[in-house]
Structure 1
Amino acid sequence: MSERRPVASLWIGEKLHYLNQLCLKSHVEAGHPTTLYCTDDVQNAPEGVEVRPASDIMQIDMDLVATTSASFLSNVFRYKMIRETGAIWIDCDAFCHQPFPDDQEYIFGEHGLSGALNCGVVALPRECEMMDQLLDYYDNLPDYPPWWNKNQRRKYDKADPTLSHAARIYKAERTAFGPQAFTWFAKQAGQFEKALPRDVLYPVPFQLNDIFYDPHGNVEGHFTDNTLSVHLYTNGTKPWWEKHVPPPGSYAARMCEKIGIDPSQALK
Structure 2
Amino acid sequence: MTNPTRRPVASLWIGPRLHYINQFCLLSHVQQGHPTTLYCTEAVENVPEGVIVRPATEIMDIDMEIVRQTSESFLSNVFRYKMIQKTNAIWIDCDAFCHKPFPDEMEHIYAGHGFRGALNCGVVYIPQQGALIDALLDYYDNLPDAPAWFNKQQRKRLDKQDSALPQAVRIYNAERTSFGPQAFTWFAQQTGDYERALSHDVLYPVPFQLNDVFFDPYGRVEGHFTDQTLSVHLYTNGTKPWWRKNVPLANSYAARMCEQTGVDPAKALEQ
Cα-to-partner distance string for 1:245-265 (whole Å, 9 max, x where unaligned): 111110000010011100000
Separation in structure 2 between the aligned mates of residue 54 and residue 72 of structure 1, nearest angstrom: 14
Separation in structure 1 between the aligned mates of residue 115 and residue 73 of structure 2, nearest angstrom: 22
Shift of 1:77: 0.2
Using structure 1 for the length normalisation, give the TM-score: 0.98
Shift of 1:156: 0.8
Amino acid of the structure 1 residue aligned with 2:267 = Q
1:145 alignment counterpart = 147
* 1:132 corresponds to 2:141: no
Separation in structure 2 between the aligned mates of residue 58 and residue 13 of structure 1, nearest angstrom: 17
- Among 220, 243, 246, the residue aligned to 1:244: 246
Cα-to-partner distance string for 1:177-214 (whole Å, 9 max, x where unaligned): 00000000111111101100010000000001111000
- Among 13, 22, 25, the residue aligned to 1:23: 25
1:72 alignment counterpart = 74
Show structure 1 runs of 4+ deviating over 3 A.
Answer: none
2:97 alignment counterpart = 95
* Two-structure CA RMSD over aligned residues (Å): 0.8
Query: Greater shift after overlay, 234-243 or 4-13?
Result: 234-243
1:121 alignment counterpart = 123
Shift of 1:2: 4.3
> SS of the counterpart of 2:132?
helix
Using structure 2 for the length normalisation, give the TM-score: 0.97
Describe how 1:160-179 pairs up with structure 2 within 5 A.
160-179=162-181
Separation in structure 1 between the aligned mates of residue 171 and residue 240 of structure 2, nearest angstrom: 26
Separation in structure 2 between the aligned mates of residue 210 and residue 169 of structure 1, nearest angstrom: 31
Amino acid of the structure 1 residue aligned with 2:16 = E
Separation in structure 1 between the aligned mates of residue 232 and residue 148 of structure 2, nearest angstrom: 31
- Among 197, 209, 212, the residue aligned to 1:210: 212
> SS of the counterpart of 1:242?
helix
Amino acid of the structure 2 residue aligned with 1:99 = P
Separation in structure 2 between the aligned mates of residue 261 and residue 202 of structure 1, nearest angstrom: 23
The gaps in structure 2 that reach 5 residues or longer are none
Query: Greater shift after overlay, 24-33 or 151-160?
Result: 151-160
Amino acid of the structure 2 residue aligned with 1:142 = P
Amino acid of the structure 1 residue aligned with 2:143 = L
Separation in structure 2 between the aligned mates of residue 237 and residue 157 of structure 1, nearest angstrom: 32
Describe how 1:174-213 pairs up with structure 2 within 5 A.
174-213=176-215
Conserved 8 A contact 1:2-1:33: no
> SS of the counterpart of 1:37?
strand
Identity between Structure 1 and Structure 2 (%): 69
Separation in structure 2 between the aligned mates of residue 64 and residue 90 of structure 1, nearest angstrom: 23
* 1:4 corresponds to 2:6: yes
Separation in structure 2 between the aligned mates of residue 13 and residue 162 of structure 1, nearest angstrom: 28
Shift of 1:159: 2.3
Shift of 1:84: 0.1
1:40 alignment counterpart = 42
Separation in structure 2 between the aligned mates of residue 89 and residue 43 of structure 1, nearest angstrom: 22
Shift of 1:9: 0.2
The gaps in structure 1 that reach 5 residues or longer are none
